């Protein structure tokens, strides 16, 4: 099926998802479903195959793709509202945590759900990159091989800021070991009077059972989803925390997932 619901209105599209889901179970057939709509993929699939520029990025169950994305592209593509990305610098501590500096000065410890040794991870990353290079050389040696992907269209993750910066400046910077990107899903933003971070409501879109908000923190913008019928006024000062144990830590150089865990502020 190649985008079978693309010409339907929103209400009928939702009903047809239920019908396709039911047919899939009743017939016991294998469906190959092509879509650019991430909601269709998440709600209908038993396995999602994510492709960027002709190259496979991840193949797994919907919740695995959402909770443990293999790289920045996967994390960015899946999720509505989109995930928040924050650049950070970090060093490994004696406790096996990563002490991070982010938001231009705020500090927090990243605690892995499954402890790793950062030096070992960097070594495995280099070995994997070298292996991929050698495999590519072998493929290019085959005259019948057609290389996938357009090198001129490389994915770039986006960090929301009040004043957007020119990407040209970022291209001149070469990430090093210790440069990370923290991925924070909107539902991990929790407003609390005792919150560790301070911000201002920059935008608010209530839908009834929840509100999607933009929080300005210094020069950064964070998207949050707050459940409940609560009205937020633009310009209101708030305090908030980043909660949850499914926060993603990515290596900025390779854009690969380092691990999943939580942020601790002491």
Task: Output the DSSP codes for 99-157.
Answer: EEEETTTEEEEEEESS---HHHHHHHHHHHHHHHHHHHHHHHHSTT----S-TTS----
pLDDT tops 80 at residue 175: yes
- How is residue 167 written in tokens? 């990407």
| Residue 10 in this model has a pLDDT that exceeds 90 | no
The whole-number average pLDDT for the span 104-126 is 93
Which residue would you say has higher pLDDT here, 139 or 180? 180
pLDDT in tens, 215-266: 999 999 999 999 888 888 999 999 999 999 999 999 999 999 999 999 998 7
The mean pLDDT value for 164-185 works out to: 81
Residue 68 lies in a domain: no
- Tokens 């440069």 locate to 179
* Residue 149 covered by a domain: yes
* Domain contains 12: no
In a domain, 31, yes or no: no
At 170 the pLDDT is 60
1 or 229: which leads in pLDDT: 1
Q: How far is 1 from 200, CA to CA, in rounded Å?
A: 45
Distances (CA, A) of 64 to 46, 80, 103, 242, 246: 11, 16, 28, 21, 11
Q: How far apart are CA 207 and CA 215, in angstroms?
A: 17
Strand-pair partners of 199: 238
Whether residue 34 lies inside any domain: the answer is no
Burial of 179 (0-12, 13-18, 19+ CB in 10 A): middle
pLDDT at 150: 60
Q: What is the arithmetic mean of pLDDT over 91-106?
A: 92
Number of domain units in the chain: 1
Residue 237, domain member (yes or no)? yes
Average pLDDT over residues 15-40: 91
Residue 19 belongs to a domain:
no
Classify residue 32: in a domain, yes or no. Answer: no
Distance CA 243, CA 65 (A): 20
**Residue numbers of the domain that contains 113:** 81-264
pLDDT band at 167 (very low <50, low <70, confident <90, very high): low
Average the pLDDT over 91-102 and give the result. Answer: 93
Element (H, E) at 203: strand 197-206
Q: Which two tokens stand for residue 204?
A: 């608010």
More confident residue, 240 or 147: 240
**Average pLDDT over every residue of 101-124:** 93
Task: Report whether pLDDT(152) > 60.
Answer: no
Residue-level pLDDT at 254 = 94
């Amino acid at each position: 099926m190649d985008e079978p619901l693309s010409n339907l209105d929103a209400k009928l599209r939702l009903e047809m998802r239920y019908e396709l889901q039911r047919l899939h179970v009743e017939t016991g057939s294998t469906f190959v479903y092509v879509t650019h709509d991430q909601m269709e993929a998440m709600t209908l699939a038993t396995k999602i195959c994510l492709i960027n520029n002709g190259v496979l990025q991840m193949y797994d169950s919907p919740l695995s793709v959402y909770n443990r994305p293999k790289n920045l592209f996967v994390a960015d593509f899946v999720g509505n509202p989109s995930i928040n990305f924050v650049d950070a610098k970090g060093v490994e501590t004696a406790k096996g945590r990563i002490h991070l500096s982010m938001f231009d000065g705020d500090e927090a410890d990243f605690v892995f759900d499954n402890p790793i040794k950062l030096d070992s991870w960097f070594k495995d990353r280099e070995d994997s990159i070298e292996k991929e290079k050698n495999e590519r050389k072998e493929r290019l040696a085959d005259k019948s091989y057609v290389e996938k992907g357009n090198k001129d269209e490389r994915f770039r993750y986006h960090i929301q800021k009040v004043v957007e910066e020119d990407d040209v400046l970022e291209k001149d910077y070469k990430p090093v070991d210790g440069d990370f990107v923290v991925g924070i899903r909107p539902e991990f933003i929790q407003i609390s009077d005792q919150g560790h971070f301070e911000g201002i409501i920059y935008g608010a879109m209530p839908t009834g059972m929840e509100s999607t908000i933009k929080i300005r923190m210094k020069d950064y913008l964070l998207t949050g989803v707050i459940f409940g019928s609560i009205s937020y006024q633009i310009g209101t000062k708030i305090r908030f925390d980043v909660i949850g144990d499914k926060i993603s830590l990515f290596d900025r150089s390779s854009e690969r997932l380092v691990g999943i865990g939580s942020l601790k502020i002491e």
